[in-house]
Amino acid sequence: MTVRSIAGRFERGFAFAGALALLIMAAVSFFDVIFRSVNRPVTGAYELTAVLVALTVFALLPGVTLRDEHVRAGMLSMLAKRHAGLAVAMRWLRQLLLAILFLYLAVTLWRMGQTFQRAGDLAPFIDLPLAWVAWFGAAGGVVSAVCALFSKRGAGAELA
């Protein structure tokens, strides 16, 4: 079993978590709108939606990274098309920088989660602990860092 296949398995697990968070977010929004029409909004819908957005982003980040589908500016792509060695160097540098940035994000979110845990931070209206959200984001950052090192650009890619 290769590291890429292990990263792919983690990515699929995170994708499932992201899809579930997105489904719950849609249900919360739907019921909040319906109940608002009878003057009974869902308590904490805004906070719950914010937590679910964070979970969705951090859950889907590894998949976007593994498939190398991040938005990017193609300013150097013309140069890379003319020089094959430059295209390889740019790809390697991009993968390395992404991995470093995702690891930095993971460490920062882990520390933030520890701070939330020590302070006992909760979402005010729904009393939901916030530390686990930061720790989930940290886990997503670590998996994204690994995925960045083994990412492959899909069909129609502009760079090699």
Residue 64 forms part of a structural domain = yes
Number of domains in the chain: 1
Residue 103 forms part of a structural domain = yes
Cα–Cα distance measured from residue 105 to residue 36, given in angstroms and rounded to the nearest whole number: 37
Q: Which pLDDT belongs to residue 155?
A: 41
Q: Which pLDDT belongs to residue 11?
A: 83
Q: Which pLDDT belongs to residue 159?
A: 44
Q: Which pLDDT belongs to residue 76?
A: 67
The residue segments making up the domain with residue 17 are 3-149
Among 6, 11, 21, 32, which Cα is nearest to 133's? 21
| pLDDT, averaged in runs of 10, over the chain (160 residues) | 78 92 96 94 94 96 88 70 77 91 98 97 92 97 92 54
Residue 90 forms part of a structural domain = yes
Residue 159 forms part of a structural domain = no
Judged on CB neighbours under 10 Å (0-12, 13-18, 19+), 143 is buried
pTM for this entry: 0.84
